[in-house]
């Protein structure tokens, strides 16, 4: 029995020291090399601070809409819905989102609604949409703000992030930055 207990106690002490001290401090040190020292990406606008790396709810017609969130944009509890694409409740939720989108964006065909605007991401906190998902909302935003569609399209282009190194990943638009840029036009 002694041959098993002593090594188990030693292993427990080693793991406690390593994972609560050495490993934690190593990760903290690596985070200091990252942009913004691992504190997230903060954008300040007119005295307010926003976390640009966390999706946010925008539902007014004058704003571009984000991807839906299964966790109501609560960064403390990120996660998906755990409902598969054949789940009747999930399908009803997606259908409801499509209907709402079509109601608020007249002239858009049902087949043209981007999937990312009616389905939540895995974490439920995706801050980005594709340039196509932003472009399909242009008419609604321009009308609600009394702007030309060309002006709104230019703001989308100015806020589109190209793929990393020109080939890694898709182009994307941060919805918060895009909406702040539209707000700052007026």
pLDDT 10s per residue in the chain (186 long)? 778 898 899 999 999 999 998 898 888 888 888 777 776 777 777 778 777 788 888 889 999 999 888 777 777 777 777 777 888 988 998 999 999 999 998 888 999 999 888 888 777 788 889 999 999 999 999 999 999 999 999 999 999 998 877 778 889 999 999 999 998 887
| Phi, psi angles (nearest 5°) of residue 111 | -70, -15
**34 and 49 inside one domain:** no
pLDDT of residue 125: 80
**44 and 135 inside one domain:** yes
**107 and 53 inside one domain:** yes
**115 and 161 inside one domain:** yes
**123 and 71 inside one domain:** yes
**23 and 104 inside one domain:** no
**73 and 114 inside one domain:** yes
**62 and 31 inside one domain:** no
pLDDT of residue 166: 75
pLDDT of residue 144: 92
**82 and 138 inside one domain:** yes
Cα distance between residue 125 and residue 105, in whole Å: 23
pLDDT of residue 72: 76
**101 and 27 inside one domain:** no
pLDDT of residue 74: 74
**51 and 64 inside one domain:** yes
Q: How many structural domains is the chain composed of? A: 2
Q: In this predicted model, what pLDDT tens digit does every residue of 128-142 receive, in sequence order?
A: 899 999 999 999 999
**98 and 27 inside one domain:** no
Domain assignment of residue 52, given as a range:
40-185
pLDDT of residue 90: 87
């Amino acid at each position: 029995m002694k041959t098993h207990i002593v090594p188990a106690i030693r292993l427990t002490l080693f793991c406690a020291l390593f994972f609560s001290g050495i490993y934690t401090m190593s990760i903290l040190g690596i985070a200091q090399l990252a942009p913004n020292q691992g504190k997230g990406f903060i954008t300040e606008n007119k005295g307010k601070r926003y976390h640009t790396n966390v999706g946010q709810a925008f539902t007014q017609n004058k704003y571009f809409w984000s991807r839906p969130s299964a966790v109501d944009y609560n960064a403390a509890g990120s996660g998906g819905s755990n409902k598969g694409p054949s789940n009747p409740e999930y399908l009803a939720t997606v259908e409801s989102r499509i209907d709402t989108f079509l109601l608020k964006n007249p002239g858009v065909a049902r087949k043209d609604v981007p999937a990312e605007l009616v389905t939540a991401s895995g974490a439920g906190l995706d801050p980005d949409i594709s340039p196509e998902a932003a472009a399909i909302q242009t008419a609604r935003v321009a009308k609600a703000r009394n702007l030309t569609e060309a002006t709104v399209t230019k703001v989308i282009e100015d806020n589109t992030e190209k793929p990393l190194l020109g080939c890694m990943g898709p182009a994307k638009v941060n919805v918060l930055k895009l909406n702040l840029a539209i707000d700052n036009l007026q």
